[in-house]
């Protein structure tokens, strides 16, 4: 919407704006916000930011040194459609309150440092990413979490349409049409709003899961911009659903025995006008360049550690199980959805040649997810790793049926604790160029294990009562 601070201030001067809303990226990937009356908002906010208490943000600073500042990025401005009064929003970087230096735990700053490192590498000057957005739309969710009452009831289309007959059979929702696809109009409203906010949408459709599972796909873009767009997409999707008295969730596995919500991430590198993932000689598998194969090897070599950032929740590992097209084996292949890395068969031109990393989900912080994948790929390029050196493939088989082959291929971790252990032990590739810091990684692991995983582990699960009540 804006290309500079000057154009943002000009918009504020000429238009009816009641509030300026600053959105801050938290450690876990959530947005926090603070609103400033228009008369208070001046150019100094783009220079000095606005102070906030970082010790109240899980994973950020400590109580005794909690002061941080949110520094708005003028180029991210958009009119927020969900407030009653006209509101102009900006996405912020977090900086230190006194010196205004980049804060090492700021996720958006991590993404920007990863892009800067790439530009200095000589390998490429641009990394392009394209996440796929899978989510469920429910009519309601009732949650009870008391010591003597633990329950979740999901109200989905099968409840309200019972007796009508228009129900999608289990695992057969892919690209169905109305009246079976009752989420079409909702998705269209989401996509129209995103287009108005500058997010280019490729398409949307119903996904495999019967209970209102949807997918939206956007155009590929640079790391920080796509991460910003991802935050917007989740924000718009959840708020539009709420406006229509629905609940939208990107939770990896909200429904047992149904397809989960992944975040498959398409990615490629460019160097000037050269598409460096494309093999011009035609000798390599799937016309992938030597550099692309090295990048793939880096992703797979660090795949177990990456899982600690790309799949950091207890719920992640209810999706990452064999079946339901879940990519649990660290190998690559063309058009193979059982692989951790799929090379789209339809992407044949130099401009389209890319890879798709399939394990991630939306419980990760999108800035850390994209930055960590780029760092892993670049490490593979730097070390000139080849897939065949580590049994990474290519394997053009359904891995679920290839038991002997499975035995020699590494798998993603089976639990959040195993994933965090892998991240802790294999972190050096993330520290290159100061992109990630040890402090950030340690805080992330503590946040995910002590604040989240432990809390889940301590609570009896309803199914345990079926197993053990008669003990």
**Strand bridging mode 19-25 / 87-96:** parallel
What's the whole-model pTM score?
A: 0.95
Q: Is the pLDDT of residue 411 over 90?
A: yes
pLDDT in tens, 148-185: 999 999 988 654 545 555 678 777 788 888 888 889 99
CA distance 16 to 21: 14
Report the pLDDT averaged over residues 361-373: 98
Give ranges for CATH 3.10.20.70 in the chain: 5-103
pLDDT at 1: 82
pLDDT in tens, 241-262: 999 999 999 999 999 989 999 9
Worst-scoring range by mean pLDDT, 13-22, 193-202, 335-344?
Answer: 335-344
Q: Is the pLDDT of residue 359 over 90?
A: yes
The active-site residue, picked from 134, 228, 279, 334, is 134
pLDDT at 87: 98
Report the pLDDT averaged over residues 440-468: 95
Q: Is the pLDDT of residue 121 over 80?
A: yes
Nearest to 105 by CA among 134, 136, 68: 68
CA distances from 127 to 46, 53, 110, 268, 269 (A): 27, 33, 14, 6, 5
The active-site residue, picked from 73, 106, 157, 207, is 207
CATH architecture for residues 5-103: Roll (3.10)
Question: Annotated catalytic, 452?
Answer: no
What does the mean pLDDT of the chain come to? 93
Question: Annotated catalytic, 356?
Answer: yes
The active-site residue, picked from 204, 229, 264, 319, is 264
Nearest to 49 by CA among 101, 11, 86, 111: 101
Place of tokens 């309601």: 140
Question: Annotated catalytic, 162?
Answer: no
The active-site residue, picked from 104, 157, 215, 228, is 215
Question: Annotated catalytic, 207?
Answer: yes
Long-range contacts of 317-321 (CB under 8 A, 24+ apart): 317/413, 317/414, 317/415, 317/416, 317/419, 318/252, 318/253, 318/256, 318/260, 319/252, 319/253, 319/260, 319/261, 319/262, 319/361, 320/252, 320/359, 320/412, 320/414
Question: Annotated catalytic, 53?
Answer: yes
Specify the length of the chain in residues. 471
The active-site residue, picked from 356, 361, 379, 452, is 356
Question: Annotated catalytic, 389?
Answer: no
pLDDT in tens, 199-242: 999 999 999 887 799 999 999 999 999 999 999 999 999 999 99
Report the pLDDT averaged over residues 187-193: 97
pLDDT at 32: 97
Give ranges for CATH 3.30.590.10 in the chain: 114-468
Question: Annotated catalytic, 264?
Answer: yes
The active-site residue, picked from 337, 451, 459, 461, is 337
The active-site residue, picked from 30, 40, 43, 53, is 53
Q: Percentage of the chain surpassing pLDDT 90? A: 84
Question: Annotated catalytic, 30?
Answer: no
Nearest to 72 by CA among 56, 42, 94: 94
pLDDT at 393: 87
B/e letters for 433-454, b = 16+ CB within 10 Å, e = fewer, are eebbbeebbebbbebbbeebbe
Q: Is the pLDDT of residue 65 over 60?
A: no
pLDDT in tens, 252-301: 999 998 999 999 999 999 999 999 999 999 899 999 999 999 999 999 99
State the fold for domain 114-468. Answer: Creatine Kinase; Chain A, domain 2 (3.30.590)
The active-site residue, picked from 229, 342, 358, 417, is 358
Question: Annotated catalytic, 215?
Answer: yes
The active-site residue, picked from 73, 106, 115, 132, is 132
Report the pLDDT averaged over residues 95-109: 95
């Amino acid at each position: 919407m804006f290309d500079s601070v000057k154009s943002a201030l000009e918009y504020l001067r000429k238009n009816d704006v009641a509030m300026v809303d600053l959105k801050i990226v938290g450690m876990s990937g959530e947005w926090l916000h603070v609103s400033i009356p228009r008369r208070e908002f001046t150019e100094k906010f783009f220079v000095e930011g606005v102070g906030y208490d970082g010790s109240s943000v899980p994973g950020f600073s400590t109580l005794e040194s909690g002061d941080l500042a949110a520094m708005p990025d003028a180029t991210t401005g958009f009119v927020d459609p969900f407030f009653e009064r006209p509101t102009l929003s900006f996405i912020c970087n977090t900086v230190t309150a006194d010196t205004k230096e980049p804060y090492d735990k700021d996720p958006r700053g991590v993404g920007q440092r990863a892009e800067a490192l790439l530009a200095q590498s000589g390998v490429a000057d641009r990394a392009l990413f394209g996440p796929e957005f899978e989510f469920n739309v429910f009519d309601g969710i009732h949650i009870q979490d008391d010591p003597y009452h633990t329950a979740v009831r999901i109200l989905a289309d099968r409840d309200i349409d019972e007796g009508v007959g228009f129900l999608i059979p289990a695992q057969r929702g892919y690209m169905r049409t109305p009246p079976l696809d009752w989420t079409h109009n909702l998705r269209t409203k989401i996509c129209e709003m995103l287009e108005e906010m500058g997010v280019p949408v490729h398409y949307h459709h119903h996904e495999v899961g019967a209970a209102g599972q949807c997918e939206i796909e956007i155009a590929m873009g640079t790391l920080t911009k796509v991460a910003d767009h991802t935050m917007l997409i989740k924000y718009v999707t959840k708020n539009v659903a709420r406006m229509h008295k629905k609940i939208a969730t990107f939770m990896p596995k909200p429904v047992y025995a149904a397809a989960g919500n992944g975040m498959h991430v398409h990615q490629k590198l460019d160097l000037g006008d050269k598409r460096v993932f494309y093999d011009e000689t035609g000798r390599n598998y799937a016309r992938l360049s030597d550099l692309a194969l090295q990048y793939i090897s880096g992703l797979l070599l660090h795949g177990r550690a990456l899982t600690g950032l790309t799949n950091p929740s207890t719920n992640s590992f209810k999706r990452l199980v064999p079946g339901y097209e879940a990519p649990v084996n660290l190998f690559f292949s063309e058009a193979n959805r059982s692989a951790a890395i799929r090379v789209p068969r339809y992407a044949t031109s130099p401009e389209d040649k890319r890879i798709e990393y399939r394990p991630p989900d939306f419980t990760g912080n999108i800035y850390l997810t994209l930055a960590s994948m780029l760092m892993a790929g670049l490490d593979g390029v730097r070390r000139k790793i080849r897939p065949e050196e580590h049994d990474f493939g290519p394997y053009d088989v359904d891995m679920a049926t290839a038991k002997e082959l499975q035995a020699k291929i590494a798998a993603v971790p089976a639990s959040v604790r195993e994933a965090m252990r892998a991240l802790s032990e294999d972190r050096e590739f993330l520290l290159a160029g100061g992109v990630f810091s040890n402090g950030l990684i340690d805080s992330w692991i503590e946040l995910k294990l002590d604040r989240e995983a432990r809390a889940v582990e301590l609570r009896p699960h309803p199914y345990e009562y079926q197993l053990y009540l008669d003990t």
